Amino acid sequence: MFLRHLRAALSLLLVMTILLGLLYPAVITAVSRLAFAREAEGSLIYRDGKLIGSHLIGQSFTASKYFWGRPSATTPQPYNGVASSGSNLGALNPALLDQVKANAKALHDADPDNRAPIPVELVTASASGLDPQISPAAAHYQAARVARARALPLRQIEALIAAHEHGVVLGFLGERRIDVLELNLALDTPR
C-alpha cells in the first residue's frame, strides 16, 4: 500500500517537473521571443554594432555635457543590475538626508547659476535603483547646463528634449518621461 502511494507521488512529481519545469518555460520563452523579440532580449541599444546599454537600466552620467538620470541605489557600482534594490532608507533616516544633500550639491556645483527648484527625482533613487528615465521637468532643469557645456543654443536642447519625450501608456497610465540614455545618444549624434 505504502509503495503504491509512493510510486504515484514520485510519478506525479516527475510529470509535473517535466511539464512545469521544462515544457512550460520553454513554450513561454519561445512565445516571448517571437512576439516580443526586442524586449525578450533585454531591450538592448546598439550603435554601429556596439552594445551601448538598455532601455531598462539607467547608466551613470556625470559630465556636464550630458543629462543625468536618477541617482542609483545599487552598490558597489551605480546601476548594477545584479544588486537592484532601493536604499531602504526611511524618511527620518539621517543617511537619506545626507544623500539628498550630496546629490543636490552635485547638481548645484555642475550648474551654480541654476536657482530653479530641483526635481525630487534628481536627488532621490528609485525603488529599483536602476531607473533609466526622468520626467520632462528633470530634463528641462538640466537643459541650460547641457547647452552651455556643448556650446549649443538652449532652444536646440529644449527641442531635443521635446523630441524624446514619451507619453503616458494607453493615454492614461503613468507619467510623461524621457529615456536618459536615448537623449544623451541623440546629443552625441552629429547633426
Query: Mean per-residue pLDDT for 18-42?
Result: 89
Residue 79 has a pLDDT of 84
Cβ atoms of residues 58 and 66 within 8 Å: no
pLDDT of residue 53: 86
CA atoms in the 13 A half-sphere facing the CB of 157: 21
pLDDT of residue 89: 80
**What integer pLDDT is reported at residue 159 of this predicted model?**
96
What average pLDDT does this structure show over 129-133? 87
141 — pLDDT class (breaks 50, 70, 90): very high
DSSP letters, 114-129, are --SPPPGGGTS--SSS
Listing from the earlier edge strand, what are the strands of the sheet with 133-134?
A: 133-134, 177-179, 165-166
Q: DSSP assignment of 49-98, as one string?
A: TEEEEESSS-----STTS---PPP--SSSTT-GGG-------TT-HHHHH
Report if pTM > 0.85: no
Q: What pLDDT, in 10s, does the model give residues 71-128?
A: 988 877 888 877 777 777 888 889 889 999 999 999 999 999 999 999 999 999 888 8
Q: Which pLDDT band, with edges at 50, 70 and 90, does 54 fall under?
A: confident
154 band by pLDDT with thresholds 50, 70 and 90: very high
For residues 149-161, give the mean pLDDT. 96
| Of 61 and 40, more confident | 61
pLDDT at residue 191 in the model: 65
- Residue 127's pLDDT is 80
